[in-house]
Structure 1
């Protein structure tokens, strides 16, 4: 027991020293006042919430002329969780949107790369106007004996006016429609 405490003393000493370093001007301590442009993380409460629209969490691809026939599915994918992180810079709110997904080969599936169409949309809650809409392609490789894969989608380029965070909602999901 004594050797655990003795081995932990150097680490604890560093934490105690660092915790004693206080300044009323964090910019002077960290020397960030001289940087050309600052990007500050913001509290998640000011960051718009991310959700899925009904019918956009699942995506299925079929063989030619096999639409709707379960035996003709080449692959299917689902999105399960979504989150975001926000920073504010130059009067704009930069939102990085993430979603966790899974891809599974169907009866007609085979190993290889699959391109999944995922759209991120930001909507103003009051006016219902679209502030941002981007269709991206997530490339996922189906490999191994089970032909399954997990993936994390990220769109780091969502930019909206800084004051709009509480007045907007971010949607993410599969989009099999036109590429607009």
Structure 2
């Protein structure tokens, strides 16, 4: 019988605790009245407790004609049998953080690298350009030789490219981030 009484007391106690969590207004369990705000620690300022909404984070777009990059064994060849490797970009995403004066954009790109008939296993540098445009104005443009390791010519490999770009915090809502492969100027 004492086991049943103990279980009953435990269940009733649990129900009272859970009921107390949902009863009354916010702060009533702390002994505060509904109109009395919780006291702030002396070290916090009013600005530190204000809610912050992230707001604008520019979209990322692949520029037309820059999502695929091929190299050929022969410099002027465009023949499929001369392809050394082909890389392509598929998906993008971004994250942003803001300070009083800057906006930092972290761009992530998913890509795939495939060997061609002339390909060999090893590290391959892919020229990836990240450009931030505010309307018609170029804010920044950077190119990076991103190394991707192709372990086996018979197996394509996927890669994720991450680039952090910091721009002035006063960019407009027309700001866009463009990414893609940069082949440089074509020689004639």
TM-score (norm 1): 0.72
Offset at 1:162? 1.4
Q: Which one has the largest radius of gyration? A: 2
TM-score (norm 2): 0.69
> Is residue 2:180 matched to residue 1:170?
no
Evaluate the alpha carbon distance shift between residue 111 and residue 145 of structure 1 in structure 2; reply closer, same or farther with a 3 A threshold: closer
Alignment: residue pair count:
150
Evaluate the alpha carbon distance shift between residue 49 and residue 165 of structure 1 in structure 2; reply closer, same or farther with a 3 A threshold: farther
Evaluate the alpha carbon distance shift between residue 96 and residue 165 of structure 1 in structure 2; reply closer, same or farther with a 3 A threshold: farther
Of structures 1 and 2, the one with the larger relative CO (CA 8 A, separation 6+) is 1
RMSD of aligned alpha carbons = 3.2
Distance 1:110 1:132 in 2: 35
Distance 2:157 2:66 in 1: 19
Which of 105, 109, 114 pairs up with 2:115? 105
Q: Pairwise mapping of residues 86-97 of structure 1 onto structure 2 (< 5 A)? A: 86-97=96-107
Evaluate the alpha carbon distance shift between residue 142 and residue 111 of structure 1 in structure 2; reply closer, same or farther with a 3 A threshold: same
**Stretches of structure 2 lacking an aligned partner (at least 5 in a row):** 1-17, 22-26, 31-36, 46-51
Q: Deviations over 1:65-93 (max 9, x none)?
A: 35211100000000001111000124100
Offset at 1:138? 1.2
Hey, what does 1:115 align to over in structure 2?
125
> Is residue 2:54 matched to residue 1:47?
no
**Stretches of structure 1 lacking an aligned partner (at least 5 in a row):** 1-12, 35-40
Q: Deviations over 1:124-153 (max 9, x none)?
A: 11xx11101000111111113623110001
CA contact (8 A) 2:120 2:153 kept: no
Q: After the TM superposition, list the runs of 4 or more consecutive aligned residues in structure 1 that deviate by more than 4 angstroms.
A: 22-26
Evaluate the alpha carbon distance shift between residue 42 and residue 53 of structure 1 in structure 2; reply closer, same or farther with a 3 A threshold: farther
Hey, what does 2:94 align to over in structure 1?
84
Offset at 1:25? 8.6
Which of 67, 79, 82 pairs up with 1:69? 79
